[in-house]
C-alpha cells in the first residue's frame, strides 16, 4: 500500500520528537530561569521577615534583662519542661468560673499533657505562684485586664489561680456590660476584665455581638472605655488580633452622628494612631505614684503546620507536643505592630509614665499543642461540611486552661511580688 505524502517515516518521526523535546526543554529551562528570581525573592523575604522578628525579640529581651533586679534574669527567654508532679496549678473542673471557650477537657479533649508544661527561664526561676501571697499584696486594690478575648483568657486564668484558695462564701463574679468582675471579699480585692478589643472605641465593643464584617474604629476616642479603668491600681492592656486586616475603616465623629467622616487607612498607621490616643490618656489621667501599667505582647496563632515540619494545611488540630526549635517564630507573627507598641512605651517613658511590656510572644510560639482546637463551646453551630474537616473550625488563637495563660500570670505575679509591681529602667 502506498504511503500518503503526509505520513512520516519512523526516522522522520524520531527527528521531530527529538526536536520537540529540545523545544520543550528550552521552554522549561526558560520558565525556570524566569521563576527562579521570584522564588529566591520569596525565600529572601521570608528570611528577612524572620530576621526582623528575631531582631525585635533581641531588643525587647535585652531591655527586659536590664529591667529586672538581676542582670542575668530574663523571664521571657527559656524552655518548656514537662512536669506532671506540680503542674497544672489548678484543676479545670474545680475552677467554678472558667469560661466554656477555654474548658478543653470539659468539651472532650482526652490528651491533657498540655496542662503539664512548666516554663523554665534559662538563668533564673519563676517564683512559685502563691494565691494567698498575691491576694495579700493586692489587699484593698483593683487589678484590671483591658483588651480582647486573649486578655479575657488571661483573666480567666488568674481567677482560676486564686479562687480555689478563697471560701465559696467570700468570692463572687458578675458581668455588667463590658465589665467582668471577680471579688475576693475577705481581701477587698477586685480582679476585673474590661472588653475593649481595640482599646479605643469601635463598632466591635459589644461583649457579645461584636463579630461584624465591616469593622469601624474611632482612633481618637477612648474616654468611654477608659472611665472604667481610671481608679485601678494595676492595669494590664492588650490589643492585637482585632487589627489584623490590611486596612481599617476609621471614623472621625460619633457613630450616632450623620456628619461623621469615614476613611480607610492602612492598618499599621491606624494602630499607631490608636496607641497615640491611649498614650495621651495615660499621661494625663494615670496616678503615676499609685497605678502600675503593663502591656501584654502578641499571642500567636498556630495556623501553618509547614512552619513546624508538618503539612501546609495542618494547624493546631491534633497537635500534642510543643515546638522545641529554639527561637521559633511564625512568619505570620506581626512584629511591626509590636514595634509600634514598643515605641509608644518608650515615648511614654520619656514623659515619666512607666509601662512594663510583658513579652509573652516567644514562649507562647512554642506551644502549638495548647489551643482549644475543636474542644470548646461554639457560639455558632458547626456546619455539616465543617464536621468532615475539623481543622476548618479549630480555634488556634485562644488557649486551653489550665495552660499557657497561667504562665503569663506567673510572670505577672513575679513582677507584682518580686519586683514591686514594676521593673524600672
Q: How far apart are CA 339 and CA 200, in angstroms?
A: 19
SS3 state of residue 362: helix
Q: How far apart are CA 244 and CA 148, in angstroms?
A: 13
Active site residue 233: no
CA-based angle 404:244:250, to the nearest 5?
Answer: 135
- Which residue shows C-alpha cell 488540630? 317
Return the bridge partners of 289, or none: none
The per-residue b/e assignment along 105-121, b for 16 or more CB within 10 angstroms, e otherwise, is bebebeeeebbbbbbeb
Active site residue 149: yes
Q: How far apart are CA 404 and CA 367, in angstroms?
A: 8
Q: How far apart are CA 380 and CA 394, in angstroms?
A: 13
Nearest to 418 by CA among 87, 90, 128: 128
Q: How far apart are CA 54 and CA 61, in angstroms?
A: 10
Sequence-ordered strand ranges (E) for 13-130: 78-82, 117-121
CA 378 to chain centroid, in Å, comes to 20
Return the bridge partners of 227, or none: none
CA-based angle 38:44:50, to the nearest 5?
Answer: 140
Look up residue 328 and give its three cell numbers.
521559633
Active site residue 170: no
Return the bridge partners of 250, or none: 217, 263
User: Exactly one of 148, 364, 398, 406 is catalytic; which is it?
Assistant: 398
User: Exactly one of 149, 190, 202, 270 is catalytic; which is it?
Assistant: 149
User: Exactly one of 148, 205, 342, 395 is catalytic; which is it?
Assistant: 395
Q: How far apart are CA 98 and CA 2, in angstroms?
A: 90
Known catalytic residues are 149, 395, 398
Amino acid at each position: 500500500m502506498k504511503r500518503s505524502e503526509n505520513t512520516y517515516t519512523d526516522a522522520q518521526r524520531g527527528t521531530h520528537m527529538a526536536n520537540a523535546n529540545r523545544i520543550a526543554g528550552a521552554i522549561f529551562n526558560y520558565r525556570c530561569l524566569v521563576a527562579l528570581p521570584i522564588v529566591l525573592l520569596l525565600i529572601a523575604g521570608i528570611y528577612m521577615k524572620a530576621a526582623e522578628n528575631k531582631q525585635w525579640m533581641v531588643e525587647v529581651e535585652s531591655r527586659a534583662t536590664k529591667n529586672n533586679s538581676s542582670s542575668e534574669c530574663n523571664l521571657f527567654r527559656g524552655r518548656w519542661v514537662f512536669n506532671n508532679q506540680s503542674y497544672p496549678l489548678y484543676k479545670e473542673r474545680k475552677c467554678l468560673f472558667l469560661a466554656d471557650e477555654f474548658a478543653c477537657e470539659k468539651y472532650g479533649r482526652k490528651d491533657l499533657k498540655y496542662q503539664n508544661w512548666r516554663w523554665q527561664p534559662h538563668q533564673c526561676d519563676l517564683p512559685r505562684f502563691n494565691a494567698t501571697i498575691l491576694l495579700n499584696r493586692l489587699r484593698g486594690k483593683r487589678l484590671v485586664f483591658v483588651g480582647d478575648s486573649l486578655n479575657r483568657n488571661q483573666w480567666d486564668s488568674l481567677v482560676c489561680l486564686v479562687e480555689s484558695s478563697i471560701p465559696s462564701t467570700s468570692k463572687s463574679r458578675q458581668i455588667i456590660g463590658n465589665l467582668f468582675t471577680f471579688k475576693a471579699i475577705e481581701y477587698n480585692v477586685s480582679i476585673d476584665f474590661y472588653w475593649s478589643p481595640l482599646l479605643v472605641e469601635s463598632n466591635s465593643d459589644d461583649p457579645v455581638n461584636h463579630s461584624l464584617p465591616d469593622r469601624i474604629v474611632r482612633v481618637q476616642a477612648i474616654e468611654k472605655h477608659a472611665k472604667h479603668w481610671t481608679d485601678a491600681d494595676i492595669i494590664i492592656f492588650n490589643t492585637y488580633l482585632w487589627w489584623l486586616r490590611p486596612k481599617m475603616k476609621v471614623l472621625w465623629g460619633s457613630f450616632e452622628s450623620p456628619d461623621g467622616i469615614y476613611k480607610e487607612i492602612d492598618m499599621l498607621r491606624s494602630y499607631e494612631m490608636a496607641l497615640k490616643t491611649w498614650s495621651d490618656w495615660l499621661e494625663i489621667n494615670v496616678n503615676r505614684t499609685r497605678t502600675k501599667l503593663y502591656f501584654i505582647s502578641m499571642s500567636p496563632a498556630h495556623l501553618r503546620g509547614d512552619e513546624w515540619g508538618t503539612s501546609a494545611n495542618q494547624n493546631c488540630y491534633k497537635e500534642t507536643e510543643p515546638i522545641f526549635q529554639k527561637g521559633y517564630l511564625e512568619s505570620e507573627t506581626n512584629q511591626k505592630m509590636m514595634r509600634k507598641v514598643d515605641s509608644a512605651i518608650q515615648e511614654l517613658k520619656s514623659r515619666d509614665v512607666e509601662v512594663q511590656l510583658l513579652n509573652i510572644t516567644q514562649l507562647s510560639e512554642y506551644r502549638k499543642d495548647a489551643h482549644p482546637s475543636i474542644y470548646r463551646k461554639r457560639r455558632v453551630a458547626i456546619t455539616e461540611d465543617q464536621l468532615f474537616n475539623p481543622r476548618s473550625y479549630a480555634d488556634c488563637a485562644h488557649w486551653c486552661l489550665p495552660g499557657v495563660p497561667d504562665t503569663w500570670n506567673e510572670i505577672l505575679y513575679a513582677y507584682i511580688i518580686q519586683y514591686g509591681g514594676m521593673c524600672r529602667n
